Structure 1
Amino acid sequence: MAAETALIVGAGFAGAVYARTLAEAGWTVRVIDRRTHIAGNAYDEVDGNGVRVHRYGPHLFHTNNDAVVEWIQQFGEFVPYQHRVRALLPDGRLVPLPVNADTVEAVLHRPLPDEAAMQAALAEVALPIANPQNAAEHLNSKIGKELTDLFFRPYTKKMWGLDLEEMDASVVKRIPLRTDREDRYFPGDRHQIMPRDGYTAIFRSIFDHPNIRVETGVSYEKGMEDSYTHCFNSMAIDEYFDRSLGELPYRSIRFHARTVEGELPADMNWTVTNYTDTGPLTRETHWDLLPHHRVEATGRRTVTVEEPCDYRDNNEERYYPVKTSDGRYQEKYKEYAALAAGLERMSFIGRCGTYQYLDMDQVINQSLMGARRFLAERGG
């Protein structure tokens, strides 16, 4: 019996998980990626300042999924990391984000001695909207118009190119609202960790298997899959079908790095600062505040600022699927998925293949389940 073979398009998390799972089951796997590196959007590297930088923005591993953590920790050492964010107000003050009691005290200029006072303050400003239909209505029903317009309206317009009224509420529901003074971004997740030597090293370890061959700088071309038992494709599904049913839009990010001399203030314990103004930039990241990211002592630090844009204005670099309140693009995706179901030897995987916003733990879990289900259905 001939060996089972797989072509995997994309060397990010989805492709890596499928590749490793199939290889361990005895399949011969070829992984291709049109970029010149592995690790997808999680790719990191040490720059000229001796600082490890995530080329495509900060990737923060957090989850309650024990099985995902057990799987990923096979491939390298992870260290604890508690993420914190501050929002820069128009008057220059920095306040915690997501919104907590300290944030509301600063904006509403009123003392909130306990959670009951915080809850009462929010109840006063919240608008009576029983069944929110979009992101604006959801936020207004929770924190009122002033806080919504300050922390979410300009940021959403910059980030998504949409007004809050046009955006699906599920996008902002991802952001927690707190009535205490907890300032960690993910306090509800049991596992908050970072790879000690970076994500790229983790991917090298995942791909380090005799049944896996990885080729970067290689683009997928239709017909490649004909030489393989099956193809797992993480390219944009609408691109595969030549946008025959219309476009599935994405937001992208332009990254602007700058060098800063000297040390950080001793009391700075947050990594990311969000901008609440109406300018084009959304946030900045101080990489050396992430554990083991200052690799060499050069006396210089790296700060990256993000400028969102349409993916077509950034070499078609797709980062975030667009989710509107009317669900039109998700409905369009379903039409493409129906076309894909007719492809006998092709499965679409990952964020672009399934047109979903997925955190790292989610894409690992989805890919593990998908690969194992595929093998089980084939009796392997």
Structure 2
Amino acid sequence: MTSWDRRILVVGAGFAGAVHARALAEAGYEVDVIDQRPHIAGNAFDSVDDNGVRVHRYGPHLFHTNNERVVDWMARFTTLVPYEHKVLAEVTPQLLVPLPVNRRTIAEVFGTPLPDEAAARAFLDTLAEPIDAPANAAEYLYSRIGRRLTDLFFRPYTRKMWAMDLEEMSAAVVQRIPLRTDDEDRYFPNDRFQFLPADGYTAMFERIFDHPRIRVSLSTSFAPAMRRGMAHCFNSMPIDTYYGDRFGPLPYRSIRFHHATEQGETAPAGRAATVNFTDAGPFTRETDWSALPHHRVLPTGRRTLTREEPCDYRDNGFERYYPVKTSDGRYDAIYRQYKALADREEGLTFIGRCGTYQYLDMHQVINQSLMGVASFLAAASDAPSGSSASASSEPSYQTQPG
């Protein structure tokens, strides 16, 4: 290949950009990575604060998947510590119940003895409404758990999180939330692999970018002229921003984080790492970072708690976290117009959550990125021989007791 053919521009140093950069570098390409933020790791960025606790700056990132290939790839760059996340919902300050809804949740909310799963299922059947084809999130939840549980756990949360009522929201948004009648209280019970990186996400990203063919420039915003001399650009910036909001902006929800210090090295007994709030106040949830494995880094006698306050991304420095999905699909229709423009451009691929206007978990981003690079290499007629965008042939899959 010529020097021009070997150069790739990657916009964004989060998961999508990092996986693309590493896979392309290992395939023989010279990769320039830029990010407008002053740090790598995107929304997974973490650091140790003054309380000696590792805090995820943009909210808790909990790795979970059934995709062993993704786990093997990630494990090349970190030691994975097993961690199964659990969440409690604060019905009142004195009553904390498991979330997602399970047998114990139903029994405690209704004050009804439900001795086993069959009893819980039968009771839930009396609450559920017969709706064959739910048109929105409210109808989907009514058809599964009835109105009282919906209005307690989901309606106030939705108003805070999405600034809309359940009737305005696509059913697909809540279909990913498990609703159970047994005693399973893990938040991701169906995922075989649930881990956290032993020394944090930032350290893991440092290892991903540690390659002689990768150059990272931070505090650097994208400009179209940067594409000159590049064989391809993989771009994770918001696709609507790239095209100057030609068809209108794509809305996102954002989060303001409120940190507080409390005394004690660890969380009180019986308190989960994350507590969701069911009231009408501004906060959706609180995370006690000391409850996560390997997040107590230095002994200080203090711990950090973070409360999350959702808001419009325009009210939070245009920090985009969650694409807004409505029941009528109007914003997805706008996205498709932008995608049609991108599909007509040579040498440009949009990646990641903001580039594709999707809500993506970490494992999905890694998998999509590996597949995307593999497709790119397959299409490149003069790609270096013997290269591979997938995980190494002998993955160093290591775990460490939590």
- TM-score of the alignment, normalized to the shorter chain, above 0.5: yes
**Is contact 1:64-1:189 (8 Å) kept?**
yes
Relative to structure 2, which stretch is displaced further, 182-191 or 56-65? Answer: 182-191
The answer for the alignment partner of 2:399 in structure 1 is none
The aligned residue for residue 164 of structure 2 is 162
Q: Deviations over 1:201-256 (max 9, x none)?
A: 11000000000000110000122111211111000000000000111000000001
Amino acid across the alignment from 1:301: R
Report whether the alignment pairs 1:226 with 2:196: no
Supply the distance in 2 between the matched residues of 1:327 and 1:158 (Cα, whole angstroms): 20
CA RMSD, 1 decimal: 0.9
Secondary structure of 2:224's aligned partner: coil
Q: Are residues 1:195 and 2:201 paired? A: no
Which secondary structure state, in structure 1, belongs to the residue aligned with residue 20 of structure 2?
helix
The answer to whether the Cα contact below 8 Å between 1:84 and 1:269 also exists between their aligned partners in 2 is: no
Partners of 2:193 and 2:92 lie apart in 1 by: 34
The percentage of counterpart residues that share the same residue type is 63
**Which residue in the other structure is 2:131 paired with?**
129
Aligned partner of residue 75 in structure 1, secondary structure:
coil
Encode CA deviations 1:111-131: one digit per residue, 9 max, x unaligned.
111111011111001111111
Question: What is the rounded CA distance, in whole Å, between the counterparts of 2:165 and 2:105 in structure 1?
Answer: 23
Which amino acid in 2 is paired with 1:163? D
Whether contact under 8 Å (1:153, 1:163) holds in the other structure is yes
Assess if the C-alpha contact under 8 Å between 2:265 and 2:300 holds in 1: no
Give the secondary structure class of the aligned counterpart of 2:305.
strand
Distance in 2 between residues matched to 1:314 and 1:94, nearest whole Å: 31
| Matched residue, 1:68 | 70
The match for 2:333 among 328, 331, 334 is 331
Deviation at 1:266, TM superposition (A): 5.0
Indicate which of 293, 296, 301 corresponds to 2:295.
Answer: 293
Corresponding residue number in structure 2 for 1:363? 365
Distance 1:293 1:9 in 2: 30
* Contact in 2 for aligned 1:285/1:304 (Cα 8 Å): yes
Query: Partners of 1:266 and 1:155 in 2: how far apart?
Result: 25
| SS at structure 2 position matched to 1:247 | coil
Q: Within 5 A, what are the aligned runs for 1:342-353? A: 342-353=344-355
Deviations 1:312-331 (CA, angstroms, capped at 9, x unpaired): 00000000000000111111
Q: Secondary structure at the match of 1:89?
A: strand
In structure 1, stretches of 5+ residues that fail to align are: none
User: CA offsets per residue over residues 87-143 of structure 1, 9 Å max, x none?
Assistant: 001463100000000000011110111111011111001111111010000000000
Q: Which amino acid aligns with 1:147?
A: L
Q: Which whole-Å CA distance do the structure 2 matches of 1:22 and 1:62 have between them?
A: 25
Please give the alpha-carbon distance, in whole angstroms, between the structure 2 residues aligned to 1:130 and 1:349. 36
Match of 1:105 in 2: 107
Identify the residue that residue 144 of structure 1 maps to in structure 2: 146
User: 1:282 matched to which residue of 2?
Assistant: 284
Distance in 2 between residues matched to 1:264 and 1:108, nearest whole Å: 32
Preserved contact between residue 125 and residue 144 of structure 1 (Cα < 8 Å): yes
In the aligned structure 2, how far is the partner of 1:205 from the partner of 1:64?
Answer: 24
Give 2:221's aligned amino acid: S
Q: CA offset at residue 21 of structure 1?
A: 0.7
Q: How many residues end up aligned between the 2 structures?
A: 380
Aligned residue in 2 for 1:174: 176
Identify the match of residue 184 of structure 1 among 174, 183, 186. 186
Q: In structure 2, what is the equivalent of residue 16 of structure 1?
A: 18
